[in-house]
Amino acid sequence: MEKEYLQVKGRIFDIQKYSIHDGPGIRTIVFLKGCPLRCKWCCNPESQEREIQTMFTAGKPKIIGRDVPVGEVMDEVMQDRFYYRRSGGGLTLSGGESLMQADFASALLQAAHAMGINTAMESTGFAPFRVIEEKILPHLDIYLMDIKHIDREKHKFFTGVSNELILENARKIAASGQNLVIRVPVIPGFNATESEILEIARFAASLPGVEQLHLLPYHRLGMDKYAGLGRDYSLSSVQPPSNEHMKKLMDTASVTGLRVRIGG
Amino acid sequence: MRHFYDGDIEKSPRIQRLIDHLYAKMPEIEADRAVLLTESYRSTEGEPIITRRAKAFQKICEELPIIIRPEELIVGSNSQAPRGCQVFPEYSYEWLEAEFDTVEKRSADPFYISEETKQRLRSVYPYWKGKTTSELATSYMTKETLTAMEHNIFTPGNYFYNGIGHFTVKYEEVLAIGFEGIAAKAKTALSVCKAGDADYARKSHFLNAVIICCNAAITYAHRYAMLALETAQKETNSQRKMELLKIAENCAQVPGKPARNFYEACQSFWFVQMLLQTESSGHSISPGRFDQYMYPYYEKDIKEGLITREKAQELLDCIWVKLNDLNKVRDAASAEGFAGYSLFQNLIVGGQTEEGEDATNDLSFMCLEAALHVMLPAPSLSIRVWNKTPDELLIKAAKVTRTGIGLPAYYNDEVIIPAMMSRGVTLEDARTYNIIGCVEPQKAGKTDGWHDAAFFNMCRPLEMVFFNGMEGGVQVGPRTGDVTQMKTFNEFYDAYKTQMNYFIELMVNADNAIDVAHAERCPLPFQSSMIDDCIGRGKSLQEGGAVYNFTGPQGFGIANVSDSLYAIKQLVFEEKKVTLAEWKEALADNYGRGFSKQQVESMTTQIVKNLADAGQPVGEREIAAVYQTVANQNISPEKKAKYDQLLEWIDQVPKYGNDIEEADKFARDVAYTYTKPLNQYRNPRGGIFQAGLYPVSANVPLGAQTGATPDGRLANTPIADGIGPASGRDTHGPTAAVNSVAKIDHGIASNGTLLNQKFHPSALSGVEGLQKFCAFIRAFFDQKGMHMQFNVVSRETLLDAQAHPDKYRNLVVRVAGYSALFTTLSKSLQDDIINRTMQGF
């Protein structure tokens, strides 16, 4: 009999193979559509709306978003099983925010485990903890959690939501014994000062079991997509941080005792 | 667990100075060998050919000018000019004479040639009229074969105009017993020959020829010993004086006598390598498993404290530089196919022992280190990978790949060993294989592989199906019927197979004709002295003296043919969107995209010829009018729109290279249309044919001779590279492309397959990047891929992609986990990525 979780349907907008910066080994990222946050720097703006959209790329319209059952997604993910086996890689869920489709995300992770591959999820944890605890954690090997800022107001201004739930969930996820890695998108003008990064690093270091902090330098590679969606890109004047500055931030964050690195 | 030294080793400052000296000037053509050869031939008229070859080699070894370049530690150059080359009129000469005045100015691999050299060559060329292998080979071919070659269905150009090359000798035997020892073996064999034996005449002359050659090689080395001594006497720098005295001592000892230490082994190896390249003009004379046969000398010297790791590395680096000193001038057309002055001297590290244990040693690592030190194209560095390959060796190799020099190439033991065994090679011999030239596996010292025996353009028979075997008013291929009347896909596919089988047989005819010509006119006794079982059988390699004899011509264009056939199957026979008649017209019109100058000229010639045949007047005015009509290609807007629609439909059909099961299964079957028919043929040396699947870089010049194809590829544009997807057709990233490639049967292509992959440097950054890269290779090999090599995309490539997006439609860049098709990004974002690439992440 066909396993039930293979039938669960959800909405994705991309599958990216040979991903090497999003968890251990060689991975395939499945991007789920829909996100409760509206980060101004988001490099995947087509991920934010839950609805299926049309985006123009290189002058041509492209439908963003499709509804697929887990079984179909896994067929595609498992095409690269040879690479997972050799590298200890597997499936990474990204988005959007996968927690917005928690049943679908749960079924994907469950299927991946049943097929013997490693699971990771890039998420900012913006959902009731019960959902994370019941649906996600039992099937997840690595939680790659975004913490963007400790300051509540600034967080709200740049992402559209307050950070209280996020920080609280981070504590609870850590307390559950989950393998948790904290990632920080480093955005000049938002959180790229030494004191702001240090504050995030201190918070991360206070979480039981957390050993790693990834600083992800801001890039503008998603900028064209805003135009493709008919939207303005408010950060167009922001320059990516220099290598030297990233290095300085890494050194600063390292005083917390965490293993800090630049990039995923 | 075994431990290796995998760290960096300091580069001696001498190495860069040797390189600078080597590359200071454009390489030059020299006449000395051709003159000496001709003088010798003139004095040996009427003697057995094997004796004449040996005496000519002897004269060259005795009289070819010798030189020690500044600061060299390993000596022996067959040209006075750095990277100079000798010429070989016994194979062919007309092309060079015709190109005397252009060879210096051509874009691919130019050579300087002095007026004096031209004069000296002109003085000997008349002697060779009617005496070359090329002329004899032509006379042995059938009319149909010559027609097929004129129409560029296949080209055996390599061996048609030059020596065969493509072998690895028993370097280890020369190191161990010297040429004195090899001559002694020949003498022993001679002593048991009886005058009454049926093969006495041939055998005795061959063995005597071997002895002459062994002595000639020793003479050559002794000339170097004397030169080193004389130079030392004049040398005022005391350190260099000591070096020269040491060189004199080395050359007095080797290669005549056994090498007593690592330094002598290096010098002995080098004399063998450069003299092989002086005996014949064949390329791909491959050093093979250098880390294996040199290791005992290295290990002994290190144990006894006679040499330091740094000094040994310097000697290796010197050999690496010397391998770039050897050169060869090719005709202008071939130079484009082999651009880069390459001699394809393949040197391979790692792999297994005869007993199936891992063979990695410290020298394996030092060979990779040498590549990092010299950063030059030679040797063609390769690494054997199998399940027990130490990860640290693979990581070291990945570090070399990361530099962007395109080396090393990675080979999969797990496919190659069974593939060779399926061709009759023993388990022990298969386990100790090395690679010849580009990608061809061989058992060293026992094989005449004739790898690279021809390029077979698999797209051309497809064109023949559309035009019923006719081209330019000539019946080139069989009449497979009017394509517009074909009712089923199988009917079409069968017609393609009929065309393939026909031309494959003609290619075999061409190769075998050339094979016989080499045996009759250019047997090579020096080379034969170092390959089993020539001495035992008493005949040269060219006459079938080797234990293993193969002929390995390579097919290319699988991706284009497969995508074409699949598109026809879908659009004509399943969806019925277009007819074969319409498609035929679209191909003839190059999908309405205009023609290259070359194509316009050839079409004009054809039309004019037809007019003349029909009795029409054809003066200059008429020709000009025809030319104008063809060049302007007056295609109505309706027709243009129809062609655009067809191209769009073609785009939508699944393509090979995206891990799509139905498209890839098709490609697997298409590859069989070349690999399977070849299995039935035999060569004159008693061996079999075995297929390769790779074009080297001939996919570009040979693509220029190919019309539009049903996969949407335009006329005269390159054919797919290697066994990989057609250009720009793989859009799902490296794993999908590689998974598709792995679905082709590599095992049956025992003459080798070739897969090029492009990577952005960020994919190899940091320790994790290297580890993931190695995992990528291993995962391809788990799926039974045979070979892969990498171009790490440079800043220059990205700039070129910015300027010519059509050439780079599939170029994926990945930055910090973000991945995009480079050419779809806006200019400013492309600039961002270019800047990041420059920073090296």
Give residue B790's pLDDT: 86
Closest to A82 (Cβ–Cβ): which among B783, B819, B825?
Answer: B783
Taking each helix axis from N to C terminus, what angle separates B143-150 and B489-521, rounded to the nearest 10 degrees? 110
For position B561, what pLDDT does the model report? Answer: 97
Q: What is the pLDDT of residue B814?
A: 58
Is pLDDT above 60 for B838? no
Q: B295: how many CB neighbours lie within 10 A of its CB?
A: 18
* pLDDT tens for each residue of chain A, 264 residues long: 568 999 999 999 999 999 988 899 999 999 999 999 999 999 999 999 999 999 998 788 999 999 999 999 999 999 999 999 999 999 999 999 999 999 999 999 999 999 999 999 999 999 999 999 999 999 999 999 999 999 999 999 999 999 999 999 999 999 999 999 999 999 999 999 999 999 999 999 999 999 999 999 998 878 889 999 999 998 888 988 988 999 999 999 999 999 999 987
Cα–Cα distance measured from residue B88 to residue B561, given in angstroms and rounded to the nearest whole number: 38
Catalytic site residue B440? yes
A134 lies in which domain range?
4-262
In the predicted structure, residue B383 carries a pLDDT above the cut 70? yes
Token reading at B805? 């997006």
Stated as kind and residue range, the H or E segment containing B457 is strand B451-457
Burial class, A197, CB count within 10 angstroms (exposed 0-12 / middle 13-18 / buried 19+): buried
Query: For B820, which residue in chain A has the nearest alpha carbon?
Result: A221
Residues of B in contact with A220 (CB under 8 A): 828-829, 832
* Residue of B711, B605, B716 lying closest to B651 (CA atoms): B711
Taking an 8 Å cut-off on Cβ atoms, the answer to whether B782 and A26 are in contact is no
What are the beta bridge partners of residue B753? B693
What pTM does this model have?
Answer: 0.93
Q: Do A87 and B832 touch (CB under 8 A)?
A: no
CA angle B829, B835, B841 (to 5 degrees): 115
Q: Compute the average pLDDT of residues B379-408.
A: 94
Q: Checking phi first, is residue B7 left (phi over 0); if not, alpha (psi -120 to 50) or beta? A: beta
B815 pLDDT higher than 70: no
- Kindly determine whether residue B782 and residue A86, on different chains, have CB atoms separated by under 8 Å: yes
DSSP H or E run through B475: strand B474-475
With a CB cutoff of 8 Å and minimum separation 6, the contacts of B807 are B727, B728, B800, B801
Q: Is the pLDDT of residue B355 over 70?
A: yes
Q: What percent of chain B has a predicted confidence (pLDDT) above 70?
A: 97
Record: contact A20-B769, CB cut-off 8 A: yes
SS3 string of chain A? Answer: CCCHHHHCEEEEEEEEEEECCCCCCCEEEEEECCCCCCCCCCCCHHHCCCCCEEEEECCEEEEECEEEEHHHHHHHHHHHHHHHHHHCCEEEEECCCHHHHHHHHHHHHHHHHHCCCEEEEEECCCCCHHHHHHHHHHHCCEEEEECCCCCHHHHHHHHCCCCHHHHHHHHHHHHCCCCEEEEEEECCCCCCCHHHHHHHHHHHHHCCCCCEEEEEECCCCCHHHHHHCCCCCCCCCCCCCCHHHHHHHHHHHHCCCCEEEECC
In this structure, of A61-75, B170-184, B564-578, B581-595, the range with the lowest mean pLDDT score is B581-595
Q: How sure is the predictor about B606, in pLDDT bands with cuts at 50, 70 and 90?
A: confident
Residue of A14, A75, A86, A239 to mutate, testing the B interface (most B Cβ within 10 Å of its Cβ): A86
CB-nearest partner of B734 from A18, A25, A217: A18
State the Cα torsion B124-B130-B134-B135 to the nearest 10°. 160
What confidence score (pLDDT) does residue B433 get?
98
**First-last CA distance in chain A:** 39
User: pLDDT band at B819, cuts 50/70/90?
Assistant: low
CA distance A25 to chain B (A): 6
Whether residues A86 and B839 touch (CB distance < 8 A) is answered with: no
Helix axes B661-678, B558-568, angle to 10 degrees: 120
Q: What is the ipTM of this complex?
A: 0.93
- Sign, CA torsion B437/B440/B441/B447: negative
Q: What is the mean pLDDT of chain B?
A: 93
Residue A237 burial (10 A CB sphere; 0-12, 13-18, 19+): exposed
Contact call for B832 and A219, based on CB within 8 A: yes
Q: Where are the alpha helices (DSSP H) in B679-805?
A: 699-703, 733-742, 766-782, 795-803
Instruction: Supply the pLDDT for residue B818.
Output: 55
In tens, the pLDDT along B217-261 reads: 999 999 999 999 999 999 999 999 999 999 999 999 999 999 999
Angle among Cα B531, B537, B543 to the nearest 5 degrees reads 75
pLDDT at B820: 64
Distance CA B248, CA B252 (A): 6
| Separation between Cα atoms, residue A142 and residue B584, nearest integer Å | 56
User: Which residues of chain B make contact with A243, given a CB cutoff of 8 A?
Assistant: 839
Report the CATH number that the domain containing residue A126 is assigned in CATH.
3.20.20.70
Average confidence (pLDDT) over B121-149: 97
Distances, alpha carbon B784 to alpha carbons B407, B522, B744, B747, in Å:
21, 39, 9, 8
| Active-site residue, selected from the candidate residues B438, B459, B522, B774 | B438
Annotated catalytic residue B251: no
Model confidence pLDDT, tens digit, residues B74-85:
999 999 999 999
CA-based nearest distance A82→chain B, Å:
5
Residue of B394, B412, B735 for testing the chain A interface, max A β-carbons within 10 Å:
B735
pLDDT at B810: 63
Exposure string of B344-360, with b = 16+ CB inside 10 Å and e = fewer, is: bbbbbbbbbeeeeebbb
Q: Would you say residue B816 has pLDDT above 60?
A: no
Query: What does DSSP say about strands B346-350 and B154-155: parallel, antiparallel, or unpaired?
Result: unpaired
Q: What is the mean pLDDT of residues B162-174?
A: 97
Cβ proximity of B570 and B564 under 8 Å: no
Among A14, A15, A16, A18, the strongest candidate for a mutation testing the B interface, having the largest count of B CBs within 10 A, is A18
Which of B561-600 are b and which e, b meaning 16 or more Cβ less than 10 Å from the residue's Cβ? bbbbbbbbbbbbbeeeebebebbbbbbebbbbbebeeebb
Nearest of B690, B674, B553 to residue B159 by alpha carbon: B553
Question: Among A19, A26, A79, whose Cβ lies nearest the Cβ of B776?
Answer: A26
SS3 sequence of B61-120: HHHCCCCCCCCCCCCCCCCCCCCCECCCCCCCCHHHHHHCCCCCCCCCCCCECCHHHHHH
Q: What is the 3-state secondary structure of B192-240? A: HCCCCCCCHHHHHHHHHHHHHHHHHHHHHHHHHHHHHHHHHHHCCCHHH
> Is residue B829 a contact partner of residue B785, using CB atoms and an 8 Å limit?
no
Interface of B with A (CB under 8 A): 659, 732-736, 739, 763, 768-769, 771-772, 775-776, 778-780, 782-783, 814-820, 824-826, 828-829, 832-833, 839
Cα dist. A187→A215, A241, B586, B762 in Å? Answer: 10, 8, 53, 21
* Set B440, B463, B471, B543: catalytic member: B440
Distance between CA atoms of residues A174 and A166, nearest Å: 12
Q: How many Cα atoms sit within 13 Å of B242 on the Cβ side?
A: 2
- On the question of pLDDT at B840 being above 70, the answer is no
Residue B816 and residue A219: Cβ atoms within 8 Å?
A: yes
Query: CB–CB of A21 and B763 under 8 A?
Result: no
Over pLDDT 90: what percentage of chain B? Answer: 79
Domains contained in chain A, number: 1
Q: Which residues of B touch A224 (CB under 8 A)?
A: 825-826, 829
Tokens of B420: 């060779």
Task: Tell me the domain boundaries of chain B.
Answer: 13-140+165-449, 141-156+450-526+547-594+633-752, 796-841
Q: Is the pLDDT of residue B719 over 60?
A: yes
Range of lowest pLDDT (A194-203, B281-290, B402-411):
B402-411
Average pLDDT score over residue span B55-67? 98
Contacts of B263 (CB under 8 A, 6+ apart): B73, B246, B250, B307, B315
DSSP state, residue B714: P
Q: Cα–Cα distance between A132 and A128 in angstroms, integer?
A: 7
Nearest CB neighbour to B739, from listed A58, A79, A87: A79
d(CA B536, CA B203): 9
pLDDT at residue B616 tops 90: no
- Residue B828: list chain A partners with CB under 8 A: 220
Asked if B335 and B108 touch (Cβ cutoff 8 Å), the reply is yes
pLDDT band at B841 (very low <50, low <70, confident <90, very high): very low
Cβ-based contacts of B824 with chain A (< 8 Å): 57-58
Measured CA to CA, the distance from residue B815 to residue A13 in angstroms comes to 20
Contacts of residue B763 in chain A, CB cutoff 8 Å? Answer: 20
Task: At A13, list the tokens.
Answer: 């907008």
Can you tell me the distance from the alpha carbon of B429 to that of B426, in angstroms, rounded to the nearest whole number? 5
CATH 3.20.70.20 fits B13-140+165-449, yes or no: yes
Report the C-alpha gap between B480 and B495 in whole angstroms.
5
Task: List chain A residues with CB under 8 Å of B825.
Answer: 221, 224
| pLDDT over 90 (residue B780) | yes
The DSSP string of B136-170 is: HHHHHS-HHHHHHHHTTSEE-HHHHHS----B---
A263–B817 CB contact, under 8 Å: yes
On the 0-12 / 13-18 / 19+ scale of CB atoms within 10 A, B731 is middle
Distance CA B348, CA B443 (A): 13
Closest to A19 (Cβ–Cβ): which among B817, B820, B824? B817
In whole angstroms, what separates CA B55 from the centre of its chain?
30
